[in-house]
Amino acid sequence: MSAPDDPLRLDHQLCFAVYAAAHAFSAAYKPLLEPFGLSYPQYLVLLTLWERDGLSVKEIGARLELDSGTLTPLLKRLEASGYLTRVRVPGNERQLQVGLTDTGRSLRERIGSVRAQIVCALGDSEEPIQDLRLELRRITPLLRNLPTGEKAAE
Q: What is the pLDDT tens value at each position of the chain, 154 positions in all? A: 778 889 999 999 999 999 999 999 999 999 999 999 999 999 999 999 999 999 999 999 999 999 989 999 999 999 999 999 999 888 887 888 999 999 999 999 999 899 999 999 999 999 999 999 999 999 999 999 988 765 555 5
Q: For residue 50, give the CATH number of its domain.
A: 1.10.10.10
Among residues 133, 110, 138, 135, the alpha carbon closest in space to that of 122 is found at 133
Per the domain annotation, does 46 fall within a domain? yes
Query: Under a CB-based contact definition with an 8 Å cutoff, are residues 104 and 46 in contact?
Result: yes
Per the domain annotation, does 6 fall within a domain? no
Per the domain annotation, does 13 fall within a domain? no
Reported in sequence order, the residue ranges of the chain that DSSP labels E, i.e. its strands, are: 55-56, 84-89, 92-100
Per-residue pLDDT at 154: 52
Specify the number of domains making up the chain: 1
Q: Could you tell me the residue range of the domain that residue 113 belongs to?
A: 39-139
CA angle 147, 148, 153 (to 5 degrees): 90
What is the distance between the alpha carbons of residues 72 and 28, in angstroms, rounded to a whole number?
24
What is the distance between the alpha carbons of residues 22 and 134, in angstroms, rounded to a whole number?
16
Per-residue pLDDT at 149: 64
Give the length of the chain: 154
Per the domain annotation, does 105 fall within a domain? yes
What is the distance between the alpha carbons of residues 90 and 109, in angstroms, rounded to a whole number?
32
Per the domain annotation, does 151 fall within a domain? no
Per the domain annotation, does 31 fall within a domain? no
